[in-house]
A = this chain, B = another copy of it.
């Protein structure tokens, strides 16, 4: 298995972030990670109420979030612990990412969780 690639802050682009968050599943994952007080592993989303996706699809979504620079994934034994890189991103992109999260979380959308 290949090592997990995390882009450096320099390599992260607005475009990459927007692309990663353009998918409903990925915003949902990201928003949940942002709200969580500790790192979550991928399989926490396997039967997570609204998200009913096979693990191969989830794995792909996590990869896209990771390679866009939105999340950090650390191996802990057999599982991956995922957390957001919000603080880092704030330094580079200002209020963009938090703005997206807030707008998403304020939205009166019932199919979110």
Residues of A within 8 A of B (CB): 13-15, 18-19, 21-24, 27, 93-96, 98-100, 102-104, 106-107, 109
Contacts and interface: CB of A to CB of B under 8 A. Distances in A.
A102 B100 CA distance: 13
Contact of A13 (B14, B15, B23, B109): B109
Contact of A102 (B22, B27, B94, B103): B94
A107 B14 contact: yes
Given A94-B103, A99-B99, A103-B93, A18 B14 contact: no
A103 B14 contact: yes
A22 B19 CA distance: 4
A39 B107 CA distance: 30
A32 to B, nearest CB: 15
A85 to B, nearest CB: 15
Nearest to A21: B18
B27 A18 contact: yes
A91 B21 CA distance: 22
